[in-house]
Amino acid sequence: MKLSQHHIGRRDFLALTSKAVGGAAVLGVAGGCGQANSGSNGQYQGEVAVAHLDAIVAAAPFHIAAAFGYYQEAGLELSPVSFPGGTETIRGMATGMDFGMPATLPGLVAIQKGQKDLRLVAGAFNKPAVVFLVPANSDIQSIEDMANKKVAISQPGSITTYFANRIAREQGLTPGKDIQLLNVGGPPDAWTAAKQGVADVAWSNPPLSDKLIKSGEARLVFKTSDYVSSWADTSYWTTQPFIDDSPDVIKNWLKAHKRAMDLIKNDVDKAAEAYAKRVDLQPEVARQSLRDAADALNLTIDMAAIKENVKAGEEMDQLDPDSLDLDSVVAKDFAPIKEA
């Protein structure tokens, strides 16, 4: 089954959501135009919101589930819409998409800002995935060399903002004084900024980072996973009304993704061949990215890792932990839960 894909940039996203009527945006793309419906043979048809669909390895199960017919066998016809960040992904869900995969932190922030119906239903990628790169000819070899340099990150309040600030401080640098953070967008945007000299260092994520390093264009400065041990990077979300109306759709969606995750773990060559074709990678790059990601691709809801996101939100003045009830945020009927 072919999985339709749509990509929305920030400008397009703002234009589209500004047309929202009664809470639903008129997206003007295939797959129900932001609305779900029953297709042939009782299948669920609808759009699903995904952060950086082609650019981050956490989204690989979407591609693999489609390539091997797992959605079709689960009675699903999905059209994923790629958004340029976790906050935009949550907004996409708020304007008509029933479920999706944002970064975990923006989901928690959205709940505290008033989107009380949002529910976290499963883990997606349970470790830090962000890395920081430089052009191959850069003189930057370590975090210490980033003093007085510009770092391209995603958007204000993003996890890239948090990691860049946290790790710089831990290494003795003061953001805003010793290093400057530039909000430029997703991994491709950040790399373009570094190549053009607008920034000295760029945030990235496999598989793009693996591709750039293998080609000789880039060098790795550091991985956030070397400094942050517990983290729920991305997760799967829906709303309480959709859980009430269509719990089986969520169960079938997660079942399809569990099959994709299992294939990555048990037959990475087969998974990588399909993934490489869908996101235009060399098979060996896809294989490396999936192999490195295998353990983190997990539906388990790791409460300790979720709470690390809450701490990050508090540090960035985005969350008040005392007023965030995680017990009501986490839906407990869809995935295993690892208590903190």
114 and 12 within one domain: yes
213 and 106 within one domain: no
Residue 158 is predicted with a pLDDT of: 83
144 and 175 within one domain: yes
Does residue 78 belong to any structural domain of this protein?
Answer: yes
117 and 166 within one domain: no
Does residue 290 belong to any structural domain of this protein?
Answer: yes
Sign of CA dihedral 330, 331, 336, 337: positive
Residue 42 is predicted with a pLDDT of: 52
Positions in the chain short of pLDDT 50: 1-35, 39-41
Residue 288 is predicted with a pLDDT of: 97
Which conformational region is residue 167 in: left (phi greater than 0), alpha (psi within -120 to 50 degrees), or beta? alpha
Structural domain ending residue among the three candidates 226, 254, 276: 226
> The domain spanning residue 179 has which CATH number?
3.40.190.10
Instruction: Indicate the pTM of the whole model.
Output: 0.86
Does residue 29 belong to any structural domain of this protein?
Answer: yes
28 and 69 within one domain: yes
203 and 246 within one domain: no
Q: Whats the size of the chain, residue-wise?
A: 340
Structural domain ending residue among the three candidates 172, 203, 226: 226
141 and 56 within one domain: no
324 and 236 within one domain: yes
Residue 12 is predicted with a pLDDT of: 43
Does residue 123 belong to any structural domain of this protein?
Answer: yes
Q: What is the pLDDT of residues 51-70, one digit of tens each?
A: 999 989 999 999 999 999 99
Structural domain ending residue among the three candidates 192, 226, 260: 226
Residue 196 is predicted with a pLDDT of: 96
Residue 137 is predicted with a pLDDT of: 97
Q: What is the pLDDT of residues 135-157, one digit of tens each?
A: 999 999 999 999 999 999 988 77
Give ∠ CA 91-96-97 in degrees, rounded to 5. 80
Place of tokens 């009430």: 244
135 and 120 within one domain: no
Q: Which string of DSSP letters, residue by residue, matches 148-167? A: TEEEEESSTTSHHHHHHHHH
240 and 161 within one domain: no
Residue 37 is predicted with a pLDDT of: 58
How many structural domains is the chain composed of? 2
Long-range contacts (CB closer than 8 Å, 24 or more residues apart) made by 166-173: 166/227, 166/228, 166/312, 166/315, 167/143, 167/222, 167/224, 167/227, 167/228, 168/143, 170/227, 171/143, 171/144, 172/144, 173/143, 173/144, 173/146, 173/147
196 and 282 within one domain: no
- Under 8 Å between Cβ of 178 and 333: no
Instruction: Tokens for 233, please give them.
Output: 């990077």
Does residue 1 belong to any structural domain of this protein?
Answer: no
Does residue 282 belong to any structural domain of this protein?
Answer: yes
Does residue 71 belong to any structural domain of this protein?
Answer: yes
| Distance separating alpha carbons of residues 36 and 98, to the nearest angstrom | 7
What residues make up the domain containing 198?
A: 131-226
Residue 150 is predicted with a pLDDT of: 96
Does residue 294 belong to any structural domain of this protein?
Answer: yes
142 and 122 within one domain: no
